[in-house]
Homo-oligomer: A and B are copies of this chain.
């Protein structure tokens, strides 16, 4: 079963279930007409509540809503996501506007709003596409050993962030797309061999994700300041700061080796390629120790 087919199948099932739910709600509304005004009011309020909920940018909606059908649409959501990703990759997240995306797709701006309700939805789509790169492909088995498995997943996650640094700027975690569910499932698989309470597994899984995101964010910032910042001015400024005497430990270091070498050292130690693996290892060590202690 190919990925796209899976997607279609998902959609069909979701649609079916939703239709059922809707019908049920309507039925209950129709029924209430026969009964008391009070009951009808109640049912109506319920219906309204459901409407309100649905109208909110309910995370579900984007995924379950039927994508444009019947008269064959020019585009697909995948097209939007792919092109949007390309724009963000090349020109940054700021460059990703609806107009720009539309131009790139050779389409009117408002056409996009047939595939997506808001720009936020577009971003959710794009984020899920990035998560698709995190998901371990089926031809690559997830190791049985939990450390190896978590390392594999963490490494892939970091790689995705390196490739698409802007992902760290668009902060809308909550909406759960198919690929993030897949990621969660694979994380569960990674710790499957551990004989610990479920809550502890969630704890550990989240911990790894959190570490990777924190690291990636810092890595991105380091890269960024590497490229942009004007080191000289920065150093001048910090040196003045230090001269005020309010930073004793920094002062001690600069006395010893000078500010510029110190500066270089900070950045080079941050840019050390082994840092990610080393600290992931430390984290895993800490987890392992706590597991052993719990036995």
> Which of A's residues lie within 8 Å of B, judged by CB?
6, 9-10, 13-14, 17-18, 21, 53-54, 56, 58-61, 63-64, 168-169, 171, 173-174, 176, 178, 181-182, 184-186, 188-189, 192, 198-200, 202-203, 206-207, 209-215, 217-218, 221, 224-225, 228-230, 233-234, 236-238, 240-241, 243-244, 246-250, 253, 265-266, 268-270, 272, 275, 278-279, 281-287, 289-290
Chain B residues closer than 8 Å to A184, beta-carbon distance: 250
Instruction: Say yes or no: A188 contacts B250, CB within 8 Å.
Output: yes
Chain B residues closer than 8 Å to A218, beta-carbon distance: 173, 206, 209-210, 213
Chain B residues closer than 8 Å to A59, beta-carbon distance: 229-230, 233-234, 237
- The list of the 3 closest CB pairs from A to B, nearest first, reads A214-B214, A282-B286, A286-B286
Q: Which of B13, B213, B230 contacts A60 (CB 8 A)?
A: B230
A287's closest neighbor in chain B, by CB?
B282
Q: Which of B198, B211, B265, B287 contacts A253 (CB 8 A)?
A: B198
For the complex with contacts A56-B228, A182-B246, A184-B250, 16 further pairs of A-B residues with Cβ separation under 8 Å are A6-B246, A13-B243, A18-B236, A53-B233, A54-B233, A56-B230, A59-B229, A59-B234, A169-B171, A173-B217, A173-B218, A174-B225, A203-B278, A203-B279, A210-B279, A284-B286
Given A174-B224, A202-B266, A290-B285: A211 and B209 interface contact (C-beta under 8 Å): no
